[in-house]
Chains A and B, each alone.
Chain A
Amino acid sequence: MDIILTAVIAAFLLMLIQMHAPGLLPFFLMIFYFLLLAQLTMRLLIPAIRTIAAAGLPAGGLVALLAGSALVFHLSESFSRMMEDAGFGPVGRISHTAAKLLILAAWSEQLLEASRTVIGLLP
């Protein structure tokens, strides 16, 4: 709830900046964006994933892995779109590629296990 409140206040501040100092708008936009994103991630998403991982479900690790990689992908995608809007497209694309590689690395154990099972079927 307070994240929505923060977002509204940030929007008012941004409007104020837009009226009085339009040149500073991208700078402040990025600052507020990261503040909100950090708040959202730290206070809502990561505790939720922790709760799932600690709930003792039969596939808790895998669920947490799936949720974590989806989260990383989402964050990285929104970051790269933000960069694109600010005019720094290449930077965003590189960071997005890095995030994809990170996700693949996190799943490498599962991928290896799958390939081991399939290869183990062969004589």
Chain B
Amino acid sequence: MWDIVHAAAAPVIRLFQTVLILCAAGLAADFLFPSFREWTRTFLFIAVGTMALGPAVEALRLLDGLTGKMTGLFLGVYPLLTAGMATAGGALTLAGWNPAVFLFVQGAVVLGGKWLIPLLTASFLFDYLSRLVPDVPFTRMAEMIRVTIIGAVSVIAACYTLFITSTGIMAWAGSGAAGEPLKVLLRQNIPIVGSFVTDALGVFGKYSAGTAAIAGGWLIGTILVVCLIPAAQVLLTAFFYKWLAALSEPFANEELSGLFDDLGKTMFVLCGITFIVAFAVFYTVLLAVILIKVIAGTG
């Protein structure tokens, strides 16, 4: 677990040190050579802004690769899984899955890979360019893209919930009342995607509660953790950007801290998209596990 935290934190911490030192150097340069001020601003922005884009681009690449692989996996595995389920006799009714969920999960991942991630890339670019050339601002455009993507992801999440609850057997068997204050806390404190994260956790909870009887609680827990690792990593990176913005605000240029703030917002939206992918992974792995169990005769 700490490896993941470290993997997410190390580039951003290094970035923060760099930003700190460069901003101090910029202040010193402004003091010594006031006529160089305009150049200092531009060069600092180019050097630091490019560095700041690094971890964000890395996360974007990670997710892009993940969705690409998932699409390939679906195309290869789903016919096999469905056929297996059908021949295993009654596995479909046992699990109570709607076959339309197959189509939906795949469609959501394709949508995420083909539309949402490129749109998010555009939002990164708009943020960077509008800070680099303040006379030509694209900030509203970037904001609109983010809001649109959040809307699309929420609709997909709502559809998941609908599918899963309509199939009947997915009763919320866990201790729902005990988790409620935690949910409220998350919803209020994680900006933008807070309510979304809790909803996603609820969906996972409902889903795993129904299948835990078949696949075993520990197995479900392990699969859940493995699937949510990319989401956690992106969420941590987003929080570090927010920290960077907050910590660098007193002494850095307004453009730089604003850029970090915008990058953090975009990373939170990216975290929403990772949920789609995480759900697809979770669903596929669970399906395979249940199929094997059914074939082996222990289901």
Contact = CB atoms under 8 A, between A and B. Distances in A.
B253 interface: no
B125 A62 contact: no
Contacts of A74: 32-33, 35-36
Nearest to B18: A59
Chain A interface SS verdict (over half)? helix
Contacts of A77: 35
A71 B243 CA distance: 33
B21 A57 contact: yes
Given A59-B18, A63-B21, A121-B124, A103 B46 contact: no
A122 to B, nearest CB: 8
Contacts of B124: 121
A114 B40 contact: no
Contact of B33 (A59, A62, A70, A114): A70
A89 B25 CA distance: 32
B117 to A, nearest CB: 10
B46 to A, nearest CB: 5
B39 to A, nearest CB: 7
A82 interface: no
B125 A113 contact: no
B162 to A, nearest CB: 33
Contacts, number: 81
Contact of A66 (B17, B18, B29, B49): B29
B121 A66 contact: no
A121 B57 contact: yes
A87 interface: no
Given A66-B25, A70-B40, A103-B39, A110 B33 contact: no
A120 interface: yes
Contacts of B40: 66, 70
B176 interface: no
- Counting contact residues on chain B (CB < 8 A from A), the size range is 20 to 34
- Counting contact residues on chain A (CB < 8 A from B), the size range is 20 to 34
Contacts of A69: 36, 39, 43
B36 A73 contact: yes
A58 B18 contact: yes
A78 B128 CA distance: 35
Nearest to A123: B118
Nearest to B121: A121
Contacts of B44: 66
B186 interface: no
B192 to A, nearest CB: 22
A58 B14 CA distance: 7
B50 A113 contact: yes
A62 B57 contact: no
A73 B53 contact: no
B17 to A, nearest CB: 4
25 contacts: A58-B18, A59-B17, A62-B47, A66-B25, A66-B40, A67-B25, A67-B29, A69-B36, A70-B32, A70-B33, A70-B36, A70-B39, A73-B35, A73-B39, A74-B32, A74-B35, A110-B46, A110-B50, A113-B50, A114-B47, A114-B50, A117-B53, A117-B54, A117-B57, A121-B60
Interface of B: 14, 17-18, 21-22, 25-26, 28-29, 32-33, 35-36, 39-40, 43-44, 46-47, 49-50, 53-54, 57, 60, 118, 121, 124-125, 128-129
